[in-house]
């Protein structure tokens, strides 16, 4: 979020992907540490493989796949890509993208989304000391974000 709203907004794609892949690598390290512990305490190897959801593992080096492009097409309300007319992963991801796009059009129907948006925007506004930036959001998000930002305000010490 901070890259999109700053003077380096032109660089948001690169920086967002850097941060997202850094987070993915960190979570992978955490997962492997927990897996090592499970292995250490005797969790059955097949059970551990199931816990690790190895069938969902994909290599970033391969780049986006058909199901990723299908989900994006659904999110952007574009035509379904080739192969999505069949029942399968590509169709499922296209449909998922469409559902996510529809839900995003009506965040007021999802209080958890509004709350998350408010927390993120309130935190950013407080960190940047720019509460006026909250004026650009829908009123219900802006009001909650202001409350979040106010909670994060460090009180000034009392003077005598």
User: Would you state the pLDDT for residue 128?
Assistant: 84
Read off the pLDDT of residues 24-82 as tens digits, 9 standing for 90 and up.
999 999 999 999 999 999 999 999 999 999 877 778 888 888 888 888 999 998 988 87
User: How high is the pLDDT of residue 27?
Assistant: 92
Cβ proximity of 75 and 101 under 8 Å? yes
pLDDT > 60? residue 9: no
Torsions phi, psi of 92, nearest 5? -60, -40
Quote the pLDDT of residue 25. Answer: 92
Q: Where are the alpha helices (DSSP H) in 41-110?
A: 45-51, 66-75, 89-105
Tell me, what's the pLDDT at 133? 87
Task: Give the pLDDT confidence score for residue 50 in this predicted structure.
Answer: 92
Give the pLDDT of residue 160. Answer: 63
**Tens-place pLDDT, residues 94-138:** 899 999 888 877 766 778 878 888 888 888 888 888 888 888 888
What is the reported pLDDT for 8?
A: 57
**What are the tokens at 120?**
């993120």
- Top pLDDT among 156 and 116 is at 116
Same structural domain, 69 and 31: no
Q: Containing domain of residue 86, as a range? A: 64-105
Domain assignment present for 30: yes
**Considering the domain boundaries, does residue 2 fall inside one?**
no
Task: Please tell me whether residues 49 and 73 are part of one structural domain.
Answer: no
Where is 125: in which H helix or E strand? helix 111-127
Total domains in the chain come to 3
What pLDDT, on a 0 to 100 scale, did the predictor assign at position 6? Answer: 55
- Asked if the structure places residue 53 within a domain, the reply is yes
Question: 5 pLDDT exceeds 60?
Answer: no
Regarding whether 76 and 36 lie in a shared domain, the answer is no
Q: What does pTM read for this prediction?
A: 0.55
Sign of the alpha-carbon torsion through 121, 124, 126, 128: negative
């Amino acid at each position: 979020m901070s890259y999109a709203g700053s003077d380096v907004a032109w660089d948001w794609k690169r920086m967002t992907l850097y941060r997202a892949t850094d987070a993915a690598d960190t979570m992978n390290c955490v997962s492997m540490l927990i897996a090592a512990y499970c292995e250490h305490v005797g969790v059955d190897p097949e059970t551990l493989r199931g816990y690790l959801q190895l069938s969902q593992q994909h290599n970033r080096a391969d780049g986006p796949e058909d199901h990723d492009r299908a989900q994006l097409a659904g999110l952007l309300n574009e035509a379904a890509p080739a192969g999505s007319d069949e029942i399968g992963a590509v169709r499922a991801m296209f449909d998922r993208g469409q559902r996510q796009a529809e839900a995003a059009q009506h965040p007021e129907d999802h209080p958890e989304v509004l709350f998350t948006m408010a927390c993120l925007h309130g935190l950013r506004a407080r960190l940047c000391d720019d509460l006026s930036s909250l004026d650009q959001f829908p009123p219900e998000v802006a009001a909650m974000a202001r409350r979040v930002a106010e909670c994060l305000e460090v009180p000034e010490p009392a003077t005598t």
